[in-house]
Chains A and B, each alone.
Chain A
Amino acid sequence: MFTVNYKKIALFFLLFILIFSSQAVLSANSPQIYINGEESTEKLDPTRSNGAVLVRSKALAKSIGAKLNWSGSINTLTMKKNGKSVKMMVGSPYIQIDSRAIRTDSPMVIKDNYTYIPFSDIMNVFGFLIEYDKLNNSYYLFKPESHLKEIDWGPDRQSLILKMDNIAPYRIRLTDDPKKLIVEIEKAAMEADFVDNVSDKNYYLQSKRIENQATLQIVLTSKYPLPINSDEVISEENGNLVIQFMPQIASVNWKQNDTLEIKSNGNMNKPEISFLEDPRRMVLDIPGVLLSEFEKNLEDNQWIKDVRVSQFQFEPTILRVVLDLKEKKYLNIVNQDDEDEIVLQPAKRARVFDLAYKDHQIVFKTDAKIEPDLFTLQDPSRLVINLFNTYREENMQGEINIKENIVKKIRVGRFDSQVVRIVADLSEMTAYNWEQEQHSKDVYIHRISFANKFDSIELLDQNIYTNININVSGKVNYEVKKFSYPHRLVVDISGEEITPDEVKLPDPTGIIKEIRMGRFDKEDETVTRIVFELDKYFNHNIVSDNPDNKINIALAKSEIQNKNNLIVLDAGHGGFDPGAVGPSNVEEKDINLRIVKKLESILKSRGFKVLLTRKSDNFVSLNRRVKIANNEGARVFISIHNNSSNKRTSEGTETFIAPNKTGDSMFLAENIQKELISKLGLVNRGVKKEHLYVIKYTEMPSVLVEVAFLSNPTEEKLLGDGKFIKDAAEAISQGLFNYFDKFKD
């Protein structure tokens, strides 16, 4: 009885192994091979062995023009080309390449009187690149299309220059390790006499091949975080690839003439300064500068105890320099003549006096040169002027009532024992301009005037559009005109307060080939004119309101074709993840899906293709949701959620975009939010930027809508109502249509 059973089991096992192994043979079907684009499968007769592919040696040698020599007596094969020689023996795991040997898992074999050799090991030797297409089980072998000849530093070690004989598709991969940078170049190889001028005790350069891919990887590892914080730092310049670094701090030195110098190896912007007590310290936040090893030399002095430097923030990059001040000592920034250094000198405590308002300006005097800190605050609008290391003269006016158009009142307060604070109450947020003028030896006059100015002019080059963003400190009236012969777009901004100087014009990009700015008088107004000279013209849309404090124009880069009209709708949560749960147990996942289903039917009725990341009550990971949208190349991604907080009083509608995607996503979010507010009438919490997973990693314009608060009993009740769900879906679709209309594509 026992033995019979035993035999049966053994038989069963045997059968199992047989079936299993036959399947293994089936799955190891032989691949297709293309050499220099030519299908060579038949002559090479490839077979798989231990994962590697063996091919007929004679045919391989012929197709790459190598010489073959077979010594039957010692079972050894030699293959030679361009002075390179490869030698191997039947059954031996070692392949001799010139004077070195490598190991292979699949040695040469003899089959039907032909020798078969592991081709990938050998083709690498003869300078071929191998790309394996897993889907079609095909190997493509070809010569590199470009070679990396040399890597060197640019001027001041501010950039890395990769010298190539030919530019191939390239990209930068940022790793989680800030000390590591990977550059990938397609179909490229290292030149035989490649020169590495970069590796030293702080830097280490490696080249790597990704297995079965024709991509060359250059890995730079540094002892310190690399001065790079985006993957957009690589560009082509004179036939080379150039990786531009951000400036880094180089030294902090106390000089004998009582001066503190902070130097970097590139241009530094003006730091933001604050003073803190306990312990007394002065904090300089320098934008756009990275931390690195720097020289520090603080000779014994009466002003500072120590200097600490840290990378306060990465996006945007801010370097924080903290000066530990000695008792009752202050430093001031003196003129920053050289842009790669910041110079500080001991400051005496200045007296503030003669505060007045005249000629639409706030005027006051100090008996020493100072660097005040000015900023505006909202609700109510006000300008705050902090005068560090100063004291107020006793008989200086403490309050001035003005009731003028812009400034209503000026108040003087004491922020702390070392700071005099002047606050100007404003009728609306406005731009200001501060200047300091030396009147006599001990009198400096400060004037603060209020006017509009350009904050920035930016061009954002996107897939279909170039977005022109003109940001002004206050609302302005403007007019956009299109002229032909040659094509140009003209933006006329009225208002004489606006000052065109001091704004940096961006570099032309996309179809914009030149940007100019000028002023002229028209009737009794001064007009600032910005001209965008265009290569060609297709279409433009004005996205901003008029008047507005930001002028946004979307300029089409080509004839717009609507090749993919797919909209991906994402109902948040699902399955075991209910999302937020309301006080009477309404679950967010259900509400989200109801809104999404309603939205789907509206969009389909308008001729859009719609794909849902989930159609029923099941769990889908955030990563999977992103992949669905990216793989399908959706035009727009909308994630529907309902909100919650731990207080029942929180209420309203808000829409999120990811901080890394502003242009199109922002316009979409603003349109949707606007419609939701007007249709649902809940509290407007606004459009916010946040690192939310699904909208951050999707590659198309993406928004996440939080329709209402489930944690709020009133709003929870609304969300249970079919009419409200329908209204929400209609508002979101209307916002989407408005967005599409503005882009007319």
Chain B
Amino acid sequence: MKNRIFKFIIMLIILIAVLGVVYYFIAGTNLVVKEESVDLYFSTKDAMYLEIESRTIKGRNLYKEAVNALIEGPTAPDLSKTIPEGTKVLNVSRNNDKIQIDFSKEIIENHWGGSTGERITVYSIVNTLAQFDEVGEVKFLIDGEEVDTLVGHMDLSRPLKPSQQIINPKK
């Protein structure tokens, strides 16, 4: 009987050790929670320009967290949101200097439209992601699929580089 309990305990320890190792490998570097102050690009009230609001973000994937912070919206009252309600970031991956970001379809369905409205959405994301040294351009996917456009104006068939013209020169 004692022998059996002993065996059981040994087995349990081995099981826990194995699970621990497996967990360590799966989680890998993603276990590390990073924290950084980033510039978020939000729209001016007249939708003429983007302006920076700095915020400290925290998470395992800073690209995703930065865009999630954009989705939350600005705190400054004279700035406005750039991404429609209900939008979710499904996936973000980076290959060399190109980021591929996959949004849920709400970014289209709940979008307010307009060339200006679309431009503001697209560049708030591109300029925010391009502040990271290693990021040069951004490609948009919707629900995992490539798209020609978001809401009928911008060419999203190719990756986009950040826009300098859209940044408020007065700031």
Interface of A toward B, CB cutoff 8 Å: 176, 308, 310-315, 320, 322, 377-379, 572-573, 577, 579-581, 588, 621-623, 641-647, 649-651, 654, 656, 685, 688-693, 696-697, 704, 706, 709-711
Contacts and interface: CB of A to CB of B under 8 A. Distances in A.
A581 B46 CA distance: 18
A645 B133 contact: no
Contact of A580 (B45, B117, B133, B157): B117
Given A314-B137, A322-B133, A643 B117 contact: yes
Interface string B136-150: 110000000000110
Given A308-B133, A647-B45, A706 B148 contact: no
Contact of B148 (A621, A641, A654, A656): A621
B117 A310 contact: no
A180 to B, nearest CB: 15
Nearest to B114: A644
Contacts of A710: 113-114
B3 interface: no
Contact of A693 (B47, B116, B133, B148): B148
> Would you list the 7 A-B pairs with minimal beta carbon distance, nearest first?
A644-B114, A580-B113, A645-B47, A643-B114, A650-B47, A693-B155, A644-B113
B160 A691 contact: yes
Contacts of B157: 693
B61 interface: no
Given A577-B152, A693-B153, A641 B115 contact: yes
16 contacts: A311-B97, A312-B136, A313-B161, A572-B152, A573-B152, A580-B112, A622-B148, A643-B114, A645-B114, A645-B117, A646-B43, A646-B80, A647-B45, A650-B46, A685-B116, A689-B165
B74 to A, nearest CB: 12
B149 A645 contact: no
Contact of B80 (A647, A688, A704, A706): A647
Contacts of A621: 148
B12 to A, nearest CB: 47
Interface string B62-101: 0000000000000000001110100000000000010000
Nearest to A690: B119
B45 A649 contact: yes
B53 interface: no
Contacts of A693: 148-149, 153-155, 157
A692 B155 contact: yes
Given A311-B136, A314-B137, A704 B114 contact: no
Nearest to B84: A646
A311 B130 CA distance: 12
Given A310-B97, A377-B169, A643 B80 contact: no
B134 interface: yes
A693 B147 CA distance: 12
A692 B153 contact: yes
Contacts of B115: 641, 643, 654, 656, 690, 692, 704, 706
A622 B149 contact: yes
B120 interface: yes
